[in-house]
């Protein structure tokens, strides 16, 4: 019987069948030894423990690796299966899911604390303090040597160097960091003179950001009488500190832009008001100048006595009209008096005497005789000139 002679490809193919068929997908705990993110989006790395290492591949895993902040030295838990790269005869661990080591326990603690604080009202919008319109003194709790504070100060210093920045140095990761951060928030509240407090650090893994998920810091921020801004991590990172703070911004640089942006907006409004006031004043001055020019061209200013002469002439006209009116009224009243006098004269009994008539009076009573009187009655006749005595006689008919 002739012995089979294998090719290298056949050997690698057989090994691949044995390995890939003999192992079901499993979780692997390891430390990242090397890490290469290819421009294709695939990730090539080595996973190791104290004594051994295995090559790994994470197809299309670049985005997840970056989001989780996985780097050389990170301890991870990965789910995948063993495969063989047949071209080189290398077996490798093909990753399907990766997460930082201990993420499950940390996530559970995160969710428990979040529910607890939320039930106590720490996240209620009603308790959020309003930020000052133009903060002039800012207290920053962070690591003084970190990139976050450098970026923050660079933006502030370049555009508004007159803003007062006070920094409370504190660790931003590792055991005990939450205590230092809480002390910083308390320090600014006790010392006073600060308009707003910013708690900040750059991005990192859940483990790196864990001090900002501790209850001690959360409660200290909740007790603060000064508004607190949380500027922790990257835009995708959320911590308990973000929920408790009065305002959450995605990055430390965004916190600087927030402070600067408000001032720029306010200054732009001031500039707009200045432009509007200047325009209004120019228009008002222009109107005054036109009024002055029109006034300067009027006869009053060209000949100052003109207005006086006008008034004098008006007075003369009024006097003439008054005199004419008075003469007319006097003439009308005199005519009326004459008519009344003529009427009165016509009614005067003595005017009848002038026409040759007489008035017979009873001497005893002095009353006019209007009818026949008894014979012998003594009478008196009033004439136009004088009077004459008479005695009534018998009827002469």
Q: Are residues 110 and 93 in the same domain?
A: no
Q: Are residues 150 and 87 in the same domain?
A: no
Closest CA to 261 of 167, 163, 161, 159: 159
Question: Can you tell me the distance from the alpha carbon of 90 to that of 2, in angstroms, rounded to the nearest whole number?
Answer: 30
Q: Which of 226, 247, 264 is the last residue of a domain?
A: 264
* Residue of 395 and 344 predicted with greater confidence: 344
Task: Please state, for a pLDDT cut of 90, what percent of the chain lies above it.
Answer: 31
Residue 284 lies in a domain: no
Q: Structure pTM?
A: 0.49
Query: Could you read off the pLDDT of 201-222 as tens digits, one per residue?
Result: 987 777 788 899 999 999 999 9
The mean pLDDT of the chain is 85
Total structural domains in the chain? 3
State the pLDDT at residue 304. 65
* Residue of 33 and 107 predicted with greater confidence: 33
**What's the burial of 137, exposed, middle or buried (CB within 10 Å: 0-12/13-18/19+)?**
middle
Q: Which of 68, 101, 134 is the last residue of a domain?
A: 101
Q: Are residues 74 and 145 in the same domain?
A: no
- Give the helix ranges, DSSP H, for the chain: 8-22, 62-68, 103-119, 147-159, 177-191, 215-223, 240-244, 252-297, 299-302, 305-347, 350-353
**What's the burial of 313, exposed, middle or buried (CB within 10 Å: 0-12/13-18/19+)?**
exposed
Q: Do the Cβ atoms of 42 and 61 come closer than 8 Å? A: yes
Q: Look at 24-38, 41-55, 147-161 and tell me which has the smallest mean pLDDT.
A: 147-161
Q: Look at 152-166, 288-302, 375-389 and tell me which has the smallest mean pLDDT.
A: 288-302
Residue 281 lies in a domain: no
Q: Are residues 110 and 247 in the same domain?
A: yes
Q: Are residues 243 and 149 in the same domain?
A: yes
Reported as a pLDDT band with limits 50, 70 and 90, residue 118 is very high
Q: Are residues 240 and 358 in the same domain?
A: no
Rg, Å, the chain Cα set? 60
Q: Look at 30-39, 94-103, 223-232 and tell me which has the smallest mean pLDDT.
A: 94-103
Q: Do the Cβ atoms of 78 and 27 come closer than 8 Å? A: yes
State the pLDDT at residue 356. 73
Q: Residue 378: give the domain boundaries.
A: 351-391
Q: Are residues 91 and 216 in the same domain?
A: no
């Amino acid at each position: 019987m002739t012995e089979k002679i294998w090719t290298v490809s056949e050997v690698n193919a057989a090994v691949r069948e044995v390995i890939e068929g003999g192992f079901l997908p499993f979780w692997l705990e390891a430390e990242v030894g090397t890490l290469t993110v290819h421009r294709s989006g695939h990730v090539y790395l080595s996973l190791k423990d104290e004594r051994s290492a295995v090559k790994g591949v994470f197809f299309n895993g670049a985005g997840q690796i970056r989001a989780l902040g996985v780097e050389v030295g990170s301890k991870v838990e990965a789910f995948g299966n063993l495969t063989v790269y047949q071209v080189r005869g290398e077996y490798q661990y093909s990753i399907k899911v990766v997460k930082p080591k201990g993420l499950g326990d940390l996530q559970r603690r995160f969710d428990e604390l979040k529910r607890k604080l939320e039930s106590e009202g720490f996240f209620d919008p009603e308790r959020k303090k309003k930020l000052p319109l133009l903060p002039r003194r800012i207290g920053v709790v962070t690591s003084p040597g970190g990139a976050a504070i450098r970026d923050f100060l660079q933006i502030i210093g370049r555009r508004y160097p007159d803003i007062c920045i006070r920094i409370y140095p504190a660790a931003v990761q590792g055991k005990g960091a939450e205590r230092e951060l809480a002390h910083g928030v308390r320090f600014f509240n006790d010392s006073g003179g600060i308009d707003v407090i910013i708690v900040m650090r750059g991005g990192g893994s859940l483990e790196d950001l864990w001090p900002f998920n501790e209850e001690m810091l959360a409660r200290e921020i909740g007790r603060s009488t000064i508004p607190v801004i949380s500027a922790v991590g990257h835009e995708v990172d959320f911590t308990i500190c973000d929920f408790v703070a009065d305002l959450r911004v995605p990055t430390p640089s965004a916190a600087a832009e927030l402070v600067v942006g408000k001032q720029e907006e306010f200054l732009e409004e001031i500039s707009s008001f200045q432009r509007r006031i200047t325009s209004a004043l120019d228009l008002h001055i222009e109107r005054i100048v036109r009024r002055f020019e029109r006034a300067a061209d009027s006869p009053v200013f060209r000949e100052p006595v003109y207005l006086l002469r006008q008034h004098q002439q008006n007075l003369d006209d009024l006097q003439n009209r008054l005199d004419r009116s008075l003469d007319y009224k006097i003439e009308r009243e005199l005519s009326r008096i004459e008519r009344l006098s003529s009427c009165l004269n016509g009614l005067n009994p003595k005017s009848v005497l002038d026409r040759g008539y007489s008035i017979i009076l009873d001497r005893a009573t002095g009353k006019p005789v209007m009818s026949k009187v008894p014979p012998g009655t003594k009478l008196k006749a009033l004439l136009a000139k004088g009077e004459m005595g008479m005695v009534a006689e018998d009827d002469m008919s």
